[in-house]
């Protein structure tokens, strides 16, 4: 594709023509990309326009009669940071991957909701909206791009979601959610997120969720403020419990009338996504109002009443800001932590601070009467390596990086590599493998026949280890060995250090833990 050079002396008309040409080329490329993407979409992950949100079941692996993980290695790798959370873990991810969530509205609120739900691994996501993408949407509706201006918001949102996570099933509803179709659409989903911006829709969606017994996560944003609430969940209230009578129409402003700072619906939408995930993982929230006309003890609101209810008349405000005529209605970043007595010299300032370092070393030597050492630390070990490399060439040859230093608690004789342990397994040598990771880590993935004793419980489980070794020796007629493994090889060293001092002097740890096992022995073992 040829490109034309535009000189500094070009006229405004030439520049405009060039912009139009480039936009046309961009649209052509976008179209070709989507065609190619459609050819490689995995089965079950394509955008679904039929309205179906059925999900296939996940197969689970077992170890010693207990379920270890129902997640594929790809899912474990993708969602590893979720799985490390004790209060979420494998169970939370499984519940999320089996859930279906409907997002009503693909605008400022719906954009972050849809993107984060897809990124976090919801099983099926439905998006309903009848609107098209406009240029004045883009400052807050971050799911859309200029390439989709004039096209369906649902189509645009589905494309962005698929680009984030192609394994999630997407269902497109390119229509407005109204009383006549809401029951049919909402009934297909487990959870509903209200990302609309008008009062009649809020009442309608809430009433629909009460009739169908669906949890509802509702949000609103205007100006510099926003709010969100979870309705109809575990005995919780519905929208009418809080607002039995609609407020005056003059009190209900819209973004199109009063404005909104783009980031505000983004913040509220992120919190809505968080609440939807919490609901999918079962969290207790406050109870409902017994006197509510919709969800209360004596409620008589039926599906027939719902479908014929005039929500615009009830609220005296329109559902769409394009049809208002219908009703004739008038820093600085904070420091986190630092090692005590460390001095802060950013890498970018290092060249100008060599004399400062020299003076500090000289002072430390004078204070102690000994030659002082120079150590460098950073967050993850990259910048500190660069700093040591520079310092070693500029008068500090003995500088040492300690950011990425690995734990070295036990002698080499108390350690074996993953490959050496694999040989022990293959030759059938009697042994016991203790996995000292937390329980929720063990549920993600584990080496076959290993027993899980978290490091924090090790002191109370010495008799369990002794019994396991005794049983292994009886079964084989030989003395059984004891090996310890963890995620990356640090906790296993702590465990071996403790075991060696408490009756198990021959215990050994596996160097590098399960991370090395995955890299050096079993490449199919999930890395998280």
What is the CATH classification number for the domain harbouring 430? Answer: 3.40.250.10
**Are 238 and 154 in the same domain?**
yes
Tokens of 117: 């739900």
What b/e sequence results for 221-232 when a residue is b if at least 16 CB atoms lie within 10 Å of its CB, and e otherwise? bbeeebebbbbb
Q: How far is CA 45 from CA 5, 159, 456, in A?
A: 42, 12, 41
Tokens of 376: 């460098």
Q: Is 438 helix (H, G, I), strand (E, B) or coil?
A: coil
460 annotated binding-site participant:
no
What CA–CA distance (Å, rounded) separates 432 from 64? 14
Cα dihedral sign for 516, 520, 521, 523? positive
Q: What is the structure's pLDDT at 331?
A: 37
- The β-bridge relationship of strands 451-452 and 375-376 is unpaired
252 annotated binding-site participant:
no
139 annotated binding-site participant:
yes
Q: What is the structure's pLDDT at 167?
A: 94
Sequential DSSP letters for 268-318 = HHHHHHHHHHHHHT----PPPPTT-TTTSTT----HHHHHH--HHHHHTS-
- pLDDT tens digits, one per residue of 441-493: 999 999 999 999 999 999 999 999 999 999 999 999 999 999 999 998 888 99
452 annotated binding-site participant:
no
Q: What is the structure's pLDDT at 87?
A: 83
140 annotated binding-site participant:
yes
What CA–CA distance (Å, rounded) separates 349 from 331? 21
Q: Which residues neighbour 447 within 8 Å (Cβ) at sequence distance 6 or greater?
A: 433, 435, 485, 514, 517, 525
- Range of the structural domain that residue 307 is part of: 287-336
358 annotated binding-site participant:
no
Q: What is the structure's pLDDT at 58?
A: 65
137 annotated binding-site participant:
yes
Residues of the chain under the 70 pLDDT cut: 1-10, 27, 30-51, 56-69, 249-251, 257, 283-288, 321-339, 379-382, 402-407
Q: What is the structure's pLDDT at 514?
A: 94
Q: What is the structure's pLDDT at 4?
A: 47
Rounded (10°) CA dihedral 3, 4, 8, 14:
-120
Establish if 42 belongs to a structural domain: no
120 annotated binding-site participant:
no
What CA–CA distance (Å, rounded) separates 495 from 17? 70
**Are 381 and 420 in the same domain?**
no
**Are 321 and 437 in the same domain?**
no
Residue tagged 């809401």 (tokens): 182
Establish if 24 belongs to a structural domain: no
- The β-bridge relationship of strands 66-69 and 61-63 is antiparallel
* Count of positions (residues) in the chain: 528
At 250, which CATH number? 3.40.50.720
What CA–CA distance (Å, rounded) separates 277 from 88? 10
**Are 294 and 258 in the same domain?**
no
**Are 158 and 277 in the same domain?**
yes
Establish if 48 belongs to a structural domain: no
108 annotated binding-site participant:
yes
Q: What's the chain's Rg over C-alpha atoms?
A: 30
Tokens of 482: 């004891």
Sequential DSSP letters for 461-523 = GHHHHHHHHHHHHHHHTSPPEEEEE-SSSSHHHHHHHHHHTTT-TT-EEETTHHHHIIIII-T
**Are 371 and 391 in the same domain?**
yes
Establish if 35 belongs to a structural domain: no
**Are 254 and 159 in the same domain?**
yes
Which residues are catalytic, by number?
A: 255, 486
- Across the chain, what does the average pLDDT equal? 85
CB-CB contact of 453 with 465 (8 Å): yes
In total, how many domains does the chain have? Answer: 4
- Full-model pTM: 0.65
């Amino acid at each position: 594709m040829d490109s034309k050079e535009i000189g500094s002396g070009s006229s405004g008309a030439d520049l405009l023509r060039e912009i139009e040409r480039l936009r046309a080329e961009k649209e052509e490329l976008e179209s070709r990309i989507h065609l190619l993407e459609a050819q490689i979409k995995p089965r079950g992950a394509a955008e679904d326009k039929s309205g179906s949100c059925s999900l296939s079941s996940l197969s689970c692996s077992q170890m010693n009669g207990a379920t270890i993980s129902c997640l594929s290695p790809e899912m474990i790798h993708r969602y590893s940071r979720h799985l490390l959370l004790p209060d979420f873990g494998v169970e939370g991810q499984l519940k999320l991957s089996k859930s279906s969530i409907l997002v009503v509205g693909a605008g400022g609120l719906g954009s972050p909701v849809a993107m984060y739900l897809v990124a976090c691994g919801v099983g099926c996501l439905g998006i309903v909206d009848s609107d098209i993408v406009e240029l004045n949407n883009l400052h807050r509706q971050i799911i859309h791009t200029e390439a989709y201006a004039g096209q369906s918001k649902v189509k645009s949102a589905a494309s962005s979601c698929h680009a984030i996570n192609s394994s999630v099933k997407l269902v497109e509803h390119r229509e407005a959610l109204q009383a006549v179709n809401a029951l049919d659409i909402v009934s297909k989903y487990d959870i509903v997120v209200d990302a609309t911006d008008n009062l009649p829709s809020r009442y309608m969606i809430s009433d629909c969720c009460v009739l169908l017994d669906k949890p509802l996560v509702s949000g609103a944003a205007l100006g510099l403020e926003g709010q969100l609430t979870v309705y109809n969940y575990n005995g919780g209230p519905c929208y009418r419990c809080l607002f039995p009578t609609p407020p005056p129409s003059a009190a209900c402003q819209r973004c199109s009338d009063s404005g909104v700072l783009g980031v505000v619906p983004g913040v509220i939408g992120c919190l809505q996504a968080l609440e939807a995930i919490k609901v999918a993982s079962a969290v207790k929230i406050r109870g409902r109002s017994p006197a509510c006309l919709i969800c209360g003890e004596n409620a008589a609101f039926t599906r027939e009443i719902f479908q014929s209810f005039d929500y615009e008349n009830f609220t005296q405000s329109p559902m769409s800001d394009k049809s208002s005529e219908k009703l004739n209605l008038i820093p600085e970043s904070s420091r986190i932590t630092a090692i005590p007595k460390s001095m802060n010299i950013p890498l970018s300032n290092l060249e100008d601070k060599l004399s400062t370092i020299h003076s500090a070393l000289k002072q430390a030597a004078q204070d102690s009467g000994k030659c002082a050492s120079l150590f460098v630390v950073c967050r993850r070990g990259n910048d500190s390596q660069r700093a040591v490399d520079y310092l070693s060439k500029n008068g500090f040859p003995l500088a040492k990086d300690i950011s990425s230093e690995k734990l070295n608690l036990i002698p080499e004789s108390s350690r074996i590599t993953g490959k050496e342990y694999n040989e022990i397994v293959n030759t059938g040598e009697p042994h016991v493998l203790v996995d000292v990771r937390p329980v929720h880590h063990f549920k993600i993935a584990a080496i076959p026949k290993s027993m899980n004793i978290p490091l924090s419980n090790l002191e109370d489980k010495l008799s369990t280890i002794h019994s396991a070794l005794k049983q292994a020796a009886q079964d084989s007629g030989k003395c059984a060995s004891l090996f310890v493994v963890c995620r990356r090889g640090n906790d296993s060293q702590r465990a071996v250090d403790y075991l060696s001092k408490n009756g198990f002097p021959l215990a050994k740890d596996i160097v590098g833990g399960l991370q090395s096992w995955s890299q050096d022995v079993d490449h199919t073992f999930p890395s998280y």
